[in-house]
Structure 1
């Protein structure tokens, strides 16, 4: 089907470069604040992290070394019910948000001791988000996950974790563009960007687009595009692999950090972390085997469930793994947004970050996410 003709032909109030989960969530939020918003996208040829996403809306373990990230993650988790409800009302798409808590399984005494120490240290950081967590023993875990394996010693549990369907989330956000009259412009990757008299001109293969504000949300492409706007965006690809099992009856009501059952009944097993460049179309049996082995040790009933597919996708990682949100000092009005938790942070991007961008400045408490943290002189 041919793309919808642009609703606006003048200067946009804001243009978002990147139509993945990060860019789409920001554009969704911007349209609540501004009249004319455009999304420039490569289209289906883009590296889409959302297509390979595990679909967690996850808080536990986030923020070690940067407590503000823990707070930001919690903010998003708390905003997710509102975002999901709005998308359902506006598009009819149920993104299948479930926030009944989440588990991190521990398969040895060593894992258990290390996890408890980690959680205690994480939550003791000054300025860290506060939430309840509990170490479940085998009996308590078995109440939540019947049939756990004999090696499982317990799990950490929090009530704030959950899951959503990343494909349906991306679909709902894109469908909302028509409802909110956001101009989605596919096959228009940004090539050259310049600012003249307070207006950004973005050259694309299909012509130039002009906007008063600009958001770089194009994942790994942010590095090159940011350089044109005086922004140093140190991002790199990190490959993750996932194993998908066939549909079964509902067996798992509470998701684990590396194992979950989708709303459609299939199973997802993750997660791996590899420095493999841009090789997102390559999977490897050693890693897939390791993932499957841990899943079966956690829930032995999966031994008889068939593998139907596996895939790899690229995370967008900064130097320290934390998000980058910043306005350019040399090109005011140009912002960059990059992270590797596009599902978890979707609500914060739509409901919290977008209003800041629309207003023209980052809130003071967003300063820890700027790239200035990479240039602090060591004593």
Structure 2
């Protein structure tokens, strides 16, 4: 049996961010990961560092997202120092567009509710009508009824971020083992026995950061991770010169030139295949916002399953029954990467999550009765 002090189950953006943060705290975790063909949110995300609109009826989540976005410049600089890779962080503000007055008023109500529920501490925003939006962005089409603008939002090159985290882990001497799916976790007197195909590991502490697989693994250590199915689809256009005048949560131009179009959700399927009907809707809405997009060709499309908890709010937990077992689950792996690396990881290294994270425990789902 192999021996480890701390093992992270999951090597996606969440697991890699925590592993990198732990290595900066003087801990070299063992990272066990699945295979390339697993349902990985890390390779299918939109790359946003996003605060606007997050945390409706969950004020702690709104403030948690805002704090992570503010720490992203420090994380990007430190990660570049460790990996030699610039992840392309840009935080110059963003617009969310409404294609009807009903959509705009619904956005207004949500943003005002978040401001009220956070006692005005959430990120500032502006509501713009159609004319005001086109004054700032003349390229916007006539179907746009208005928009919400927030100056704190931004984006990164998500695949480069993933590469940078793993490169930094290698340089810091962290052991990463792909194709090591954990089939079972057995609590023991001196830690946890992790078993899979061809391996058995005794680890003093563990962190469940396995995305969709957290739901299966959590009960093995007295925790719970209730998830809901949420499949998203993304279109990518041919590369072109800098074209978009702004960032939005559904349309963004990467630093490599391609334009990504997204924001679909399917909750009734397990298929990873793309849907032509959804592609048509995504393309149509994007062209209504920026008519000039009609001149570009779509070169590829992909789908992915979000790691979305039952209420959409992250879960951070430490098992009361089996001390040394931690769990992290969220669908904001890019936005919250700075918090995971710079805040959560040091707490795990110290073997205790702070009281500030107690509102994110799965106990809000009465998890102790389920587990």
How many angstroms apart in 1 are the aligned matches of 2:247 and 2:224? 37
Q: Which moved more, 1:238-247 or 1:201-210?
A: 201-210
Q: 1:337 aligns with which of 318, 328, 335?
A: 328
How many angstroms apart in 2 are the aligned matches of 1:17 and 1:287? 33
How many angstroms apart in 1 are the aligned matches of 2:27 and 2:95? 42
The aligned runs of 1:33-52 (5 Å cut-off) are 33-52=25-44
Is it true that 1:246 corresponds to 2:238 in the alignment?
Answer: yes
Q: 1:364 aligns with which of 352, 355, 362?
A: 355
Q: 1:67 aligns with which of 59, 70, 91?
A: 59
| Shift, 1:128, TM fit | 6.7
| Shift, 1:139, TM fit | 4.5
Partner of 2:284: 293
| Shift, 1:286, TM fit | 1.6
| Shift, 1:127, TM fit | 5.7
Partner of 1:179: 171
| Shift, 1:131, TM fit | 2.0
Normalized against structure 1, the TM-score is what?
Answer: 0.93
Equivalent position SS for 1:228: helix
Partner of 1:125: 117
Partner of 2:139: 147
Gapped regions of structure 2 (runs ≥ 5): none
CA contact (8 A) 1:68 1:127 kept: no
CA contact (8 A) 2:51 2:62 kept: yes
Gapped regions of structure 1 (runs ≥ 5): 1-8
Partner of 1:100: 92
Partner of 1:5: none
Partner of 2:309: 318
Normalized against structure 2, the TM-score is what?
Answer: 0.95
How many angstroms apart in 1 are the aligned matches of 2:271 and 2:330? 19
Give the superposed CA RMSD. Answer: 1.8
Is it true that 1:350 corresponds to 2:347 in the alignment?
Answer: no
CA contact (8 A) 1:106 1:155 kept: yes
Q: Which moved more, 1:26-35 or 1:183-192?
A: 26-35
CA contact (8 A) 1:67 1:129 kept: no
The aligned runs of 1:143-292 (5 Å cut-off) are 143-280=135-272, 282-292=273-283
How many angstroms apart in 2 are the aligned matches of 1:41 and 1:63? 30
How many angstroms apart in 2 are the aligned matches of 1:35 and 1:375? 32
| Shift, 1:11, TM fit | 3.6
CA contact (8 A) 1:68 1:128 kept: no
Structure 1 residues 303 and 192: CA distance shift in structure 2, 3 A: same
Equivalent position SS for 2:141: coil
